[in-house]
Amino acid sequence: MQKIVIACDSFKGSLTSREAGAAVERGLQRVCPDADIHVVILSDGGEGLAEALTGCWGGDRVTLAAHDPLMRVIETSYLMAGERAVIELAAASGLPRLTPAERNPMLATTFGTGEMIADALRRGCRHIVLGAGGSATHDAGTGILQALGVRFPDQDGKELPLGGRILGQIARIDTSRLMPEASSCKIEVACDVLNPMYGPQGAAHIFARQKGADDRMIAQLDAGLRHFAEVVERDCGIPVRTLPRAGAAGGTGGGLAGVLGASLRSGVELVLERIGFERLIRDADLVITGEGRLDAQTLMGKAPWGVLQAGLGAGVPVVALGGRVSDAQLLLDAGFRAVVPIQPDTIPLRQAMEPAFAMENLSRAAEAVWRSGPVR
């Protein structure tokens, strides 16, 4: 009997990890109904992180009022499992919270995510897992820190407001009012990128445009991150400028690592480790992964990259399915046995993202992968 493990990330804006996995499973059952199929809920630190970890930790959803990236009151939630809390930054501070016209990383803040962390700390949580994917923000986590009591004075001693615009004006970091619980808890930031805090491959140049930044803003944000990194190193002793993943979520990784001592983890590695993925695939014949877009960025720490590393380590072939595929040869050279688009590029994006349409295309692509033979 063939053993197949399905570990797809969400197809953002279209399918959850669970829905994508179910669609792949249906396609495989059409052509190999006797196969031993295992579907894993996966996340690389973005949406779905709490659901992915619920299976091994259990827990309950906690609902609360917090602020969105533009400081409007919203209802949001996180997972609480004993003394652990799994908080997705995108739940309060994510890009879907804003319309395209509202996107402005100079103004957007992670303050609402900080309110979620503060709530978890007040409820007794002492281990915070923060999923950093999908942010609308570029404030280096200063909003989170402000919600926890940290103040950022300018050179005249005046406390600065919120948003990415303040980064270049921060004269020092005042932690005198930091919540005591925040300094004694373990914080893991689950990152879906490896990018540094600033520079040509840093957060501003690579990710700020999709959050609404123009060329002038990108230059200002990059300079702000450089300045903030220098202040963090001077005041907190942590050289975040050289820290891999510090650029996650608009520099939030670097800000939390520098000021709170948070550890920056590969989000997908963290999830795969917690669910025992290496043990699960040890005797598998095939692993199928996927996400909405497969390209060179996939190899910078995205979920399919983490699945590939586990598959290579176990000697199990890994096939990737993508809503859109580019840089296919680069992905094949990295070790994927096959990289398969689930529909032609000529399909309009709106149609491609319709859930029912995407699920049927995933099912057909999985069926075609099995029929093709060489992956077995």
- Cβ contacts of 22 within 8 Å, gap of 6 or more: 39, 359
Give the whole-angstrom CA distance, residue 96 versus residue 135: 9
Strands 84-88 and 73-81: antiparallel
Give the whole-angstrom CA distance, residue 96 versus residue 57: 27
Give the whole-angstrom CA distance, residue 62 versus residue 305: 31
- C-beta of residue 105 within 8 angstroms of C-beta of residue 250: yes
Residue 300 confidence (pLDDT): 83
Give the whole-angstrom CA distance, residue 28 versus residue 180: 52
What angle do helix axes 17-31 and 49-57 make, rounded to 10 degrees? 80
**Domain extent listing, the chain:** 3-39+281-372, 49-268
- C-beta of residue 160 within 8 angstroms of C-beta of residue 153: yes
- Cβ contacts of 55 within 8 Å, gap of 6 or more: 41, 275
- One digit per residue, the tens of pLDDT, for the chain of length 376 reads 799 999 999 998 899 999 999 999 999 999 999 999 999 999 988 888 999 999 888 999 999 999 999 999 999 999 999 999 999 999 999 999 999 999 999 999 999 999 999 999 999 999 999 999 999 999 999 999 999 999 999 999 999 999 999 999 999 999 999 999 999 999 999 998 889 999 999 999 999 999 999 999 999 999 999 999 999 999 999 999 989 999 999 999 999 999 999 999 999 999 999 999 999 999 999 999 999 999 998 998 889 999 999 999 999 999 999 999 999 999 999 999 999 999 888 888 888 889 999 999 999 999 999 888 655 5
Class of CATH domain 3-39+281-372: alpha beta
pTM over 0.85: yes
Give the whole-angstrom CA distance, residue 346 versus residue 154: 51
The CATH topology of domain 49-268 is Glycerate kinase, domain 2 (3.90.1510)
Q: Give me the residue label for tokens 């959803």.
A: 61
Give the whole-angstrom CA distance, residue 233 versus residue 226: 11
